Amino acid sequence: MLQSFLPQFCMTFFIVLFILLMQFLFRYINDLVGRGLEIHVLAELFFYAALSFIPMALPLAILLASLMTFGNLGEHIELTALKSAGISLVRVMKSLIIFIVTISIGAFFFQNDVLPQTQVKMYTLLFSARQTSLSLEITKGTINSQIPGYNVYVKDKNKQSGMLYDVIIYGVDQPASYPRIVTADSGSLSTTKDEKHILLKLYHGNWYEDLKQGNGSFGKEMYRRESFHDKEIMIPYDATFKRMDDNNMKSQYIGKNMNELLHSIDSVQQKVDSIGTSIANELKTSPMCGVQAYRLSYEDSVPKLMAIEDVKMERPIDFDSIYDAMSTQERQTVVNNAINTASSTVQNAEFRSFSINEDNAQLRRHEIELQKKFTLSLACLIFFFIGAPLGAIIRKGGLGLPIVISIILFVIYYIIDNTGYKMARDGYWPVWEGMWLSSAVLFPLGVFLTYKAVNDSAVFDMDSYLIVFRKFFGGKNTRHLEKKEMVVDVADDNVIISKMEALMEMADTSLVLFHRRPTYLQFFKGIPYHETLQKNSDTLEDSITYLGNSLNQLIINKAMDFPYISNSWVYRLLDNKRFNRVCFYVFPIGIVLHIYSFYQRKKVCAELEKVKKVAQHIIDIVNGVDDNHQAH
């Protein structure tokens, strides 16, 4: 199994990792192209990016490899041969389970020890590349703004020599009220040897500049115009790549292992609690309507709230009478003072809460990163227990159907996981709930598929689900019977006739019950609808099983005309006394069920009538009546 699984796993892992790297390149291509970065810098960046994507590539690679491995075994009948030899699916998966558990444990230590360092290196290089100035590339016919403080327009350009023709330069390093325009017949652009300045050489041009000096009496309207044969302009421009210090990124949540994350979470939580306690103490010590309820004191530099004893009054004060006795101006003053006090209190609390919101966001980020170290490792196990049983069920190997199923499952996982992550990041859900959402959704799927594969159950057989659905909700099913090549207990004609007569008698008895339309009270009084239908269904299925042992093809063909007896969910639920009583007293529910039962009783009556008709035909076939009729 390992020899079959490992090549598939390695192949799919590197394919998935390559796809993730291409996604990374497309996402940050604008930050990397045109920066003049050397090959070894780009190679280092992609190396760290590849290491950072390993936790994301592992689950999908395990899912796809397990699907292909067990799909190939099922497609080549090898899995059937193993099971026929007495080897269960769990035993077949045993070596791979041990291997996947080892990978999951290794993934945890990788995320805890290696991933923080690689993420620090990757983001440090990426931010360093972003701060590197774009390489100079003057395009003709457009306004080029790469040079700091200047916009350059070139009508034509010689690609071989680099000469620029019909050059117009607009200075944008000063306010718009001080325009500066330089024109030249030709020019060239280059950088100094240290790549820290741009050397702009212009030939046969003019310099126009507005030199307004403000409101002084002299020089209020001053201009500059210069005609030159050749001119050199030196512009500061640092295009060298400078690597940032890694320590700036190590302090972020992505650069910390589990112990450092726990320490940061405790520190930030203590800070949040301290600020919250301080705000609460300020609110409690603030006078309300001029009366102070608490006093803040300190014991060994520790703040402590002390309750102030209530002022005992001989009789209660009627504030409404005091307010009514005031003049209109005094009332307005009181109301304005109350509004101003409340607004000031709210604004002060909101201002103080800004720091708490930032700390809470930082706290959630650290908690999310801590939970990721466990959830991604568990995802490897879950995807294996989805992919391996699913491959054994579909029995299709190769890169066709397994890839389609893997992509669909991984997209579902990614959507659920990303939804939980955003809910946790924004504070709508607890962090543990958002980060474990995808595992909680996919884990039952893995258990279900493993159970079905171990028991050789039909998972994708839609007919079996339709039969169960129609039996519960009612509907039409078609029977499929085939004449057996070898029958040990051949059906006797006399027994067939007796069974068909019993079916007809049973159908007549049941029709009496279902033809009668009960009142609302009688419907919930415990009429044995479910018990009668279950008995009819069991008797009918037993009779059809016996008919399947007949050597007469006409009897087998006619037996397929027997309908399934509809035992609707209404009668199943009414068989529960507690539910029956609730429906009876909750009138809207009861009346809906009562009306719906009219349709179900009509359907059952039609099915019982058909049972009688088919049973009579089988009796005629046994007696030779139907054969004679066909001969004529």
| pLDDT tens-digit series, residues 103-117 | 999 999 999 999 999
pLDDT at 108: 93
CB 154 within 8 A of CB 165: yes
CA 97 – CA 62 distance, rounded (Å): 11
Q: What average pLDDT does the chain have?
A: 81
Q: Closest Cα to residue 63, out of 408, 371, 374?
A: 408
% of the chain surpassing 90 pLDDT: 21
Contacts of 25 (CB under 8 A, 6+ apart): 32, 46
H or E, element range at 291: none
Beta-carbon contacts of residue 584 (< 8 Å; ≥ 6 apart):
524, 590
Residue 629 pLDDT grade (very low, low, confident, very high; cuts 50, 70, 90)? very low
Query: Is the pLDDT score of 79 beyond 60?
Result: yes
Token pair listed for 368:
């999310």
pLDDT of 219 above 70? no
pLDDT of residue 520: 72
pTM: 0.60
Confidence of residue 250 (pLDDT cuts 50, 70, 90): confident
Which helix (H) or strand (E) segment is 203 a member of?
Answer: strand 197-210
Largest CA distance in the chain: 132
Asked if residues 128 and 34 have their Cβ atoms less than 8 Å apart, the reply is no
Tokens standing for residue 169: 């330069």
Spans of all domains in the chain: 2-131+368-454, 143-236, 465-631
Contact 326, 319 (CB under 8 A): no
- What is the C-alpha to C-alpha distance for residues 407 and 394, in angstroms, rounded to an integer? 16
pLDDT one-digit tens code per residue, 461-491: 555 555 555 555 555 556 777 777 666 678 8
Which of the four pLDDT bands, split at 50, 70 and 90, describes residue 557? confident
CA distance 425 to 365: 7
pLDDT at 123 over 70: yes
Closest by CA position to 616, among listed 520, 499, 495 = 499
DSSP strands (E only) in 100-179: 143-144, 150-157, 164-171
Residues in contact with 149: Cβ distance below 8 Å, sequence separation at least 6, in sequence order: 171, 172, 173, 235
Task: Write the DSSP symbol of residue 532.
Answer: H
CA distances from 586 to 67, 520, 529, 583, 598 (A): 51, 12, 21, 5, 19
pLDDT at 185 (0 to 100): 92
Q: Kindly give, in sequence order, each residue whose CB lies less than 8 Å from that of residue 605, ignoring residues fewer than 6 positions away.
A: 511, 514, 515
Query: Rounded CA gap, 313 and 54, in Å?
Result: 74
β-pairing, 294-299 with 180-191? unpaired
Q: Which burial class, exposed, middle or buried, applies to 612 when counting CB atoms under 10 A from its CB (0-12, 13-18, 19+)?
A: middle
Residue 280 has pLDDT above 60, yes or no: yes
Q: If DSSP codes are grouped into helix, strand and coil, which group holds residue 430?
A: coil
216 — pLDDT class (breaks 50, 70, 90): very low
Residues 184/208, Cβ–Cβ less than 8 Å: no
Q: Which of 157-171, 206-220, 283-297, 450-464 has the lowest mean pLDDT?
A: 206-220
Of 123-127, 401-405, 542-546, which range is least confident? 401-405
Residue with tokens 């650290």: 366
**Whole-number Å distance between alpha carbons of 495 and 511:** 24
How far apart CA 340 and CA 329 sit, in angstroms, is 16
pLDDT of residue 632: 37
Q: Which of 289-293, 454-458, 508-512 has the highest mean pLDDT?
A: 508-512
pLDDT digits (tens, 9 = 90+) for 579-627: 666 676 676 777 777 677 777 778 888 888 999 999 999 998 888 875 4
Is pLDDT of 97 > 70?
yes
Unique residue bearing structure tokens 């009538």: 609
Chain centroid to CA 135: how far? 40
User: Which amino acid, one-letter code, is at 384?
Assistant: F
pLDDT of residue 287: 74
Output the pLDDT for position 460. Answer: 56
Closest CA to 110 of 258, 253, 332: 258
Q: How far apart are the first and last CA of the chain?
A: 66
Residue 157: helix, strand or coil by DSSP?
A: strand
Give, in order, the Cα–Cα distances in Å from 168 to each of 157, 224, 436.
Answer: 13, 17, 60
**In 192-257, alpha helices (H):** 246-250
Cα 417 from Cα 404, distance rounded (Å): 20
pLDDT at 215: 47
| Spatial separation of the C-alpha atoms in residues 359 and 471, rounded to whole Å | 57
Quick check: 56 pLDDT over 80?
yes
Of the candidates 124, 132, 129, 127, the one whose C-alpha atom is nearest the C-alpha of residue 245 is 124
Nearest one of 273, 277, 266 to 303, comparing CA atoms: 277
Region of residue 377 (left: phi > 0; alpha: psi -120 to 50; beta: else)? alpha
Q: Say yes or no to pLDDT of 176 above 50.
A: yes
Q: Name 17's Cβ contacts closer than 8 Å, sequence gap at least 6.
A: 50, 53, 54, 57
